[in-house]
């Protein structure tokens, strides 16, 4: 039994499976007699007080504002590592994912705006279909195994990293409330202190962690979304200097955080945010502007943007496909990027507050992501089958 559990949690499929389980559990609880328990869990009050400083929020917001800051800290670490020493460290490696991610942000957003431009109450959700859920997307490519080239998986990771970076910028610019200059100034001092630690060659993670909590609390009180504190700290953690064990602090922190994020933070976020009540949902519900905009943005906008803009760029010799990847492979990949799920749900929580709009977001994200996943899998399996026939011939 222990071996089975160990094998599961060391599998690359495990994060995607846990996300699916968390989503199904949320949907079951929301649509059965367990809905009261589900609501009680989300609304459980949690308070932290140190002297006059107090944070008093329901569990749902602690997960969305607190634990998701840890997720974005991991994103910040990954972005820094990939740009300085990884798949995005060379210009020829960077061009294709930047172009693809740019198309994957612009076209889904435009499609959403097409369905919502006459509604000032719903237009703020334009960025919801622009996101890609890397855990689900990579889990699907991993599930396909050697039916897809390994370089296609690397390409997806690179595109998703740029996509996450774009999402961070969008959140910072468009999804912030009125800002408190005092709180923001204190957060800036915290970041400056972390930067000084970096320059002084401090490799112990304790001081960075304490400063990280201080920065997060200040950003939370500033009006800017608290998750951005995680990204900012992640970009400051040292990569090039080594500790006494010959490891960089960034890699140590990334390695330590990764299992907690993929097996804890992300499934928890999915559980508290994916609970969609099916009561009153009919065919007409799918025609609502928010729902249609998200479904069309994820299922149509993502492949049009990712595939179309990349193909156009390749025609002008601005980029080229990775080794062993055909345009048919890349089209399947572009559909897979339409799996927005956790990131799309997260942006939806920032864009809307009313329960009707949030329900429309959940319906659109779940439907658009499912359509993208199924169609992407079918295309990639067809490419592998067709390729096998050609080899036999």
237-282 pLDDT, tens digit per residue, is: 999 888 888 899 999 999 999 989 988 998 898 899 888 888 878 8
Lowest mean pLDDT among 220-224, 314-318, 380-384: 220-224
First to last CA, the chain: 45
Query: What is the model's pTM?
Result: 0.84
CA–CA dist 136, 267 (Å, integer): 11
Number of H helices, E strands in the chain: 18, 2
Q: Which residues contact 61 (CB under 8 A, 6 or more apart)?
A: none
Is a pLDDT exceeding 90 seen at residue 10? no
Q: Are 220 and 65 in contact (CB under 8 A)?
A: yes
| Helices 327-336 + 355-392 axis angle, to 10 | 160
- Give the model confidence (pLDDT) of 211-222 as tens digits: 999 999 998 888
- Give the model confidence (pLDDT) of 180-209 as tens digits: 888 889 999 999 999 999 999 999 999 999
- What is the band of 5 on the pLDDT scale with cuts at 50, 70, 90? low
pLDDT for 390 equals 46
Mean pLDDT value across residues 34-63: 88
CA–CA dist 267, 315 (Å, integer): 41
- The whole-chain average pLDDT of the chain stands at 88
Is a pLDDT exceeding 70 seen at residue 306? yes
* Domains detected in the chain: 14-392 (1.20.1530.10)
φ/ψ of 257, rounded to 5, equals -80, -30
Lowest mean pLDDT among 49-58, 101-110, 155-164: 49-58
* Number of CB atoms found within 10 A of residue 20's CB: 15
Residues β-bridged to residue 45: 58
């Amino acid at each position: 039994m222990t071996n089975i559990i160990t094998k599961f949690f060391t599998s690359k499929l495990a994060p995607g499976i846990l996300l699916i389980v968390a989503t199904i559990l949320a949907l079951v609880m929301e649509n059965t007699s367990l809905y009261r328990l589900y609501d009680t869990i989300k609304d459980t009050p949690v308070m932290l007080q140190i002297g006059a400083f107090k944070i008093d929020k329901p569990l749902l917001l602690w997960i969305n504002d607190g634990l998701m800051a840890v997720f974005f800290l991991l994103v910040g670490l990954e972005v820094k590592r990939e740009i300085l020493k990884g798949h995005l460290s060379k210009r020829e490696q960077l061009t294709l994912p930047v172009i693809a991610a740019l198309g994957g942000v612009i076209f889904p957003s435009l499609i959403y705006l097409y369905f919502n431009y006459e509604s000032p109450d719903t237009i703020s959700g334009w960025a919801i279909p622009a996101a890609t859920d890397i855990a689900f997307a990579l889990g699907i490519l991993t599930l396909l195994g050697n039916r897809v080239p390994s370089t296609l998986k690397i390409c997806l990771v690179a595109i998703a990293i740029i996509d996450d970076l774009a999402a961070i910028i969008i959140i910072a610019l468009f999804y912030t409330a009125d800002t408190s200059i005092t709180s923001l100034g204190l957060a800036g001092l915290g970041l400056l202190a972390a930067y000084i630690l970096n320059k002084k060659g401090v490799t112990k993670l304790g001081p960075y962690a304490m400063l990280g909590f201080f920065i997060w609390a200040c950003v939370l009180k500033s009006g800017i979304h608290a998750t951005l504190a995680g990204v900012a700290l992640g970009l400051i953690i040292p990569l090039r200097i080594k500790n006494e064990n010959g490891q960089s602090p960034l890699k140590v922190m990334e390695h330590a955080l990764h299992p907690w994020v993929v097996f804890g933070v992300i499934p928890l976020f999915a559980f508290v945010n994916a609970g969609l009540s099916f009561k009153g949902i009919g065919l007409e519900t799918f025609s609502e502007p928010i729902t249609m905009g998200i479904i069309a943005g994820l299922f149509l906008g993502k492949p049009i943007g990712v595939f179309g803009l990349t193909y156009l760029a390749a025609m002008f010799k601005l980029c080229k496909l990775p080794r062993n990847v055909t345009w048919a492979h890349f089209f399947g990949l572009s559909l897979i990027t339409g799996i927005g799920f956790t990131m799309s749900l997260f942006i939806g929580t920032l864009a809307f507050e009313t329960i009707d709009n949030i329900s429309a977001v959940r319906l659109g994200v779940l439907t658009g992501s499912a359509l993208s996943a199924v169609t992407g899998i079918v295309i990639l399996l067809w490419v592998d089958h067709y390729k096998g026939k050609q080899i036999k011939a």
